[in-house]
């Protein structure tokens, strides 16, 4: 794409859109060396000052990273999550063009901790399926999950191979698909050495923790999941509407 000097679109916006398209359309893979500022300036016939501004923007947005003495490289593409849809990890990754996979670290039937009992409105003797698993997108570790599922709603679910089967698809097979959820999120530092190792990050890296309570059509609580996301691989977006215009816009 050429930079049109007499266009009403500012040159730096044209250049950023051009470079961003190269970074996001698969032309360059994560880890590939990207153009230097000099190369971009010569290729698109724009000033070094403009190039520097655009490259700084791309760096802040996590699309590139710099290695002193070596150059500029393509960063791992972030997964963009919309916080308005209730979908499972497997379906979500497939829709985005990734190959999802799961490694189950722990799976057992047990009586959950008291705080989980209270969240799921369970009696002390009622048991759950407990899952601890790592979620991958095209081979890259993305998230670490702990899941509690009340067995009274899904008798026999513990025999399911959750390295092959989707949890939400399994819920649907039992006639209780997830309908809506309450979800809280906050930023954390991944300080636990084991968690950092599993997720492939340095101890102290920024992460996001999500706590989700999921309901079926009859308002039964069917799942409590805590997910730790790699902060460098995710970006979350929210669709906001002025309350005065609810129902009038998409």
Per DSSP, the chain holds a count of helices (H) and strands (E) of: 7, 10
pLDDT of 146 reads: 98
Query: Does pLDDT of 24 surpass 80?
Result: no
Answer yes or no: are the C-beta atoms of 160 and 180 closer than 8 Å. no
pLDDT of 84 reads: 63
pLDDT of 1 reads: 64
Other CB atoms within a 10 A radius of the CB of residue 188 amount to 15
Query: Does pLDDT of 233 surpass 80?
Result: no
Answer yes or no: are the C-beta atoms of 128 and 151 closer than 8 Å. yes
pLDDT of 85 reads: 74
149 beta partners: 129
Mean pLDDT, residues 155-162: 97
The CATH number of 79-237 is: 3.40.1410.10
Query: Does pLDDT of 162 surpass 80?
Result: yes
Mean pLDDT, residues 163-185: 94
The CATH number of 11-74 is: 1.10.10.10
Give span(s): CATH 1.10.10.10, the chain: 11-74
pLDDT of 189 reads: 94
pLDDT of 150 reads: 98
State the pTM of this model: 0.68
Query: Does pLDDT of 128 surpass 90?
Result: yes
């Amino acid at each position: 794409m050429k930079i049109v000097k007499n266009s009403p679109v500012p040159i730096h916006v044209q250049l950023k859109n051009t470079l961003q398209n190269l970074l996001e359309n698969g032309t360059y893979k994560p880890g590939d060396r990207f153009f230097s500022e000099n190369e971009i300036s010569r290729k698109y016939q724009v000033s070094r000052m403009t190039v520097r501004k655009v490259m700084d923007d791309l760096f802040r947005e996590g699309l590139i990273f710099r290695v002193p003495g070596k150059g500029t490289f393509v960063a791992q593409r972030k997964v963009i999550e919309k916080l308005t849809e209730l979908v499972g990890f497997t379906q979500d990754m497939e829709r985005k063009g990734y190959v999802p996979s799961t490694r189950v670290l722990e799976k057992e039937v047990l009586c959950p901790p008291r705080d989980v009992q209270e969240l799921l409105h369970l009696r002390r003797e009622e048991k759950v399926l407990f899952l601890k698993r790592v979620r991958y997108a095209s081979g890259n570790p993305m998230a670490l999950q702990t899941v509690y599922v009340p067995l009274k709603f899904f008798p026999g679910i513990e025999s399911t191979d959750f390295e092959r089967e989707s949890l939400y698809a399994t819920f649907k097979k039992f006639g209780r698909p997830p309908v809506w959820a309450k979800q809280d999120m906050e930023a954390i530092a991944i300080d636990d050495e084991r968690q950092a190792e599993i997720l492939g990050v340095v101890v102290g890296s920024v992460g996001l923790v999500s706590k989700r309570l999921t309901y079926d059509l009859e308002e039964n609580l069917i799942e409590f999941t805590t997910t730790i996301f790699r902060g460098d691989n995710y970006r979350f977006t929210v669709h906001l509407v002025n309350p005065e215009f609810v129902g009038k816009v998409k």
